[in-house]
Amino acid sequence: MALPRSGCRVLFADHALTKDAFIEDWHVVCDAFDRLLPGWQSKGRRVVLQRFTNLFANIIIATVSVLATLGVLEVFVFGLVLKPDDVLPNVTINGVVRYLPNTEATFRHPDGRESRVSINADGWNSPKASYSVDRVPGRLRIAVIGDSYVHAGFVNPEEGYPEVIERALQQRGVDAEVFRFGMDGAPLSQYLHVLRREVLRYQPDVVVVGLIHNDFDESYRVRKSRTGSSFMKIAIEAGQEPIETPPVEFRPGLADALRNFAAFRYLYYETNLHIAAKSVVSRAFWGGDDDVALEHISSAVDVRRIGDHDRNRSLTRYVFGEMKELSAREGFGLLLMMDGVREAIYAGTDANAYEVGALNRIAGDTAMTLQLPFIDLQETFSADWKQRRERFEFSYDWHWNERGNQLVGEAVTGLLVETFLNGTTLEFARAPARLSGFASRRPAGG
């Protein structure tokens, strides 16, 4: 009498995988079990099935437990108690990377304070809900281009230096509006791209460009990061003309998916793991070569990266020159501004003793050669430090605090008025045609 199908055959013979030649070999194994261990057919079947059932049950229980734990951490712990900064998604519009329009965020800082970010309909952090292309007759329009210092996420929107400029001009009797175009991580090369692709369509009367010490090498060095390839780069090689590399459209990836989780943002950013693990993440995840060493950091840049001053000078000459040509062709005034070497101010030493100080000299010399208005904030910050002894950045971050933004806005306003609005211009300044009729309407001495 034929034996009934064994437990072995029940497990394997009816499985879909038995169509595979390799699995068919299990029939041979089952026959051997049937001959040698006849009792296996009933008892063995129950034991094996029970073990498989227990295994699958344990896997399901463990999976549900892990997911439930992560859900509790995400919703309650990191969503209500240990809340990280809100996420600001990025997007490319009109060939320019920016923030997702009409989004709000709150940044939470180590000192317990919070700052708001309000991304307007055009994708820029600003207290203005949108930027109108149409002009209001008689109203001065100023555009400010820069990186995170213009984005100014560490202070509230109305406390950024572009808004300080707007209020200061209005207090002088000038009907003015200031549009800001700031993007985290953008270098000097990207400022030129933003000016061409985004700012010109608003027909500004004056364009202010804010320079930071990491703007130079990151303009020609390919920095592999989440948004790095979305910035225009300029290849600078000795004996060759500069070559522009257009930006790549920003597309969200795994890093953006992870940033959507509050738990990830807290554990990665709030604990400063992103700094400690920057070298590993750069190499393993982005395929880059960042090597973080705090002893080499000055003015928030790695001085090992900025030492090629011939290349820095060529880059600056090219970008400033391109901006000046646009200024002449489109009829707007151009004003350049650069952060000071704040470590030198606090230490009471000469800024030229610092490697980053060479970048201030390069920018200032190039602006003077091209006859462009330029502010080196070294003098502005030094004078205020001597009087008040209050630092211009946060204890936990190098970005300007409210006081720093206030001083920058006042300094820019002073040179802007002196250069373009008083009727008497500096010797090297060009007063664009659009600015005629914008002189202050406030009586002298008022």
Query: Looking at residue 37, what is its pLDDT?
Result: 54
What is the mean pLDDT of the segment spanning 52-79? 84
367 versus 16: the higher-pLDDT residue is: 367
Rg (the chain; Cα; Å): 31
Find the mean pLDDT for residues 371-386: 98
Give CA–CA dist 180/165, Å, rounded.
11
Q: Which residue has the higher pLDDT, 10 or 307?
A: 307
Checking if the pLDDT of 100 tops 90, the result is: yes
What single string gives the DSSP state of each residue in 372-400?
--EEEHHHHHHHHHHHH---SEETTEEEE
Mean pLDDT, the chain, whole residue set: 86
Residue 157 has pLDDT above 80, yes or no: yes
Q: Residue 143: is its pLDDT beyond 80?
A: yes
Q: Evaluate if residue 49 carries a pLDDT over 90.
A: no
Domains for the chain: give ranges and CATH numbers: 7-81 (no CATH), 90-248+289-435 (3.40.50.1110)
pLDDT at site 435: 57
Query: pLDDT-based confidence at 119, cuts 50/70/90?
Result: very high
The pTM score is 0.81
- Residue 390: pLDDT above 80? yes
Distance CA 175, CA 209 (A): 21
Residue 395 pLDDT class (50, 70, 90 cuts):
very high
374 near 419, Cβ under 8 Å?
no
Give yes or no for residue 329 having a pLDDT over 90.
yes
Mean pLDDT confidence for 51-66? 87
pLDDT higher than threshold 90 for residue 288: no
Per-residue pLDDT, 426: 32
Type of residue numbered 106: T
Q: How confident is the model at residue 382 (pLDDT cuts 50, 70, 90)?
A: very high
Determine the pLDDT at residue 8. Answer: 54
User: Pairing between strand 206-211 and 140-146?
Assistant: parallel
Residues 6+ apart with CB under 8 A from 364: 338, 374, 376
| Mean pLDDT value of segment 260-282 | 80
Whether the predicted pLDDT of 138 surpasses 50: yes
Predicted local confidence at residue 165, as pLDDT: 98
Secondary structure letter of residue 125 according to DSSP: B
**Confidence band (pLDDT; 50, 70, 90) for 1?**
very low
Distances, alpha carbon 196 to alpha carbons 121, 203, 325, in Å? 20, 11, 11
Average pLDDT over residues 354-379: 98
Q: Would the CA dihedral through 413, 416, 419, 421 be positive or negative? A: negative
Summarize the confidence of residues 73-97 as an average pLDDT. 88
Report the range of poorest mean pLDDT among 190-199, 226-235, 304-313, 420-429.
420-429
Secondary structure, 3-state, 42-111: CHHHHHHHHHHHHHHHHHHHHHHHHHHHHHHHHHHHHHHHCCCCCCCCEEEECCEEEECCCEEEEEECCC
pLDDT at 269: 85
pLDDT for 276 equals: 73
